[in-house]
Amino acid sequence: MTGCGPQFSLGNIRLADTADGSHTIELLDSGEHYHSTEGAIAEARHVYIMPCLKKALEHFIDEPFMVFEMGFGTGLNALLTMIEAEQSSRRVVYTTVEAFPLQETLYGKLNYASQLSIPERQFRSLHEAPWNRVVEVTPFFSIMKIQANILEFTFPAEPTYHAVYYDAFAPQYQPELWNESVFKALKASLLDGAILTTYCCKGDVKRALKSSGFKIEKIPGYGKKREMLRATS
């Protein structure tokens, strides 16, 4: 999760351990976390990699494969996507919009590389890639990080994306990011059959996605979250 709304502020933050040994970040003022305390890496795989990325990769043979992430945050979702791109030998271009990038003093302490048994430089390369332009990180993975408020971001005029990770903070913290106007703008940038997943399964969110033209289904959530949403354009 990440903060991308106009009224959102990170405030006091700290590194926190999760049940699978990987780190998350806690916002001390609200108690909200970037990833589930039941397992950051496990949750990211369950919510975004398995039901969204891998399913969409099976559906589309287009090259490059285009992913959009709502918020860069810790970079964990991007890292797991880069690993999957390498393993599947698929060229992936990853676009992510983030209003509040983490500083090196914090992302430099995240333990995802050691937890995933990969070189630390692979993870750091994502955070250190320049903003607002496409950067080739590996032959199979390029990233464009855009530092902006998502409400001011201009989505592509033509259908572009094959997969979307919708990972904003919960609606009670950022309600402006979970409404129909945002989802309609996003929907217009998706190819037919593109997949969006999110951990959130609130009624208002389901209705906003439906009224924006998505077909939605409830699928098993991670940990204590009984359900999550998968939407298809």
Q: What is the pLDDT of residues 201-221, one digit of tens each?
A: 999 999 999 999 999 999 999
Q: Kindly report the average pLDDT of the chain as a whole number.
A: 93
Mean pLDDT of 140-146: 98
pLDDT tens per residue, range 41-52: 999 999 999 999
Please report the pLDDT score of residue 31 as a whole number: 83
Q: What is the CATH number of domain 13-232?
A: 3.40.50.150
- The residue ranking higher by pLDDT, 183 or 30, is 183
CA dist 112 and 129 (Å) reads: 17
Query: pLDDT-derived band of residue 1, with 50, 70 and 90 as boundaries?
Result: low
Backbone φ and ψ of 128, nearest 5°:
-90, -5
Torsion of CA 190, 85, 216, 208, to 10 degrees: -50
Of 163, 167, 139, 215, nearest to 58 (Cα)?
Answer: 163
Q: Where are the domains of the chain?
A: 13-232
Q: Are strands 13-17 and 92-98 parallel, antiparallel or unpaired?
A: unpaired
Question: CA–CA separation, 45 vs 53, rounded Å?
Answer: 9
Q: What is the dihedral of CA 221, 40, 64, 166, to 10 degrees?
A: 50
Q: Note the pTM of the prediction, 2 decimals.
A: 0.94
3-state secondary structure of 42: helix
> What is the predicted pLDDT for the residue at 2?
57
Q: Residue 160 corresponds to which amino acid?
A: T
Q: Show the tokens assigned to 152.
A: 């001011």
Say which DSSP state 31 is in: -
* Nearest-angstrom CA–CA distance, 133 and 136: 10
| % the chain with pLDDT above 90 | 86
Amino acid 157: pLDDT: 87
First to last CA, the chain: 22
- Amino acid letter, residue 22: S
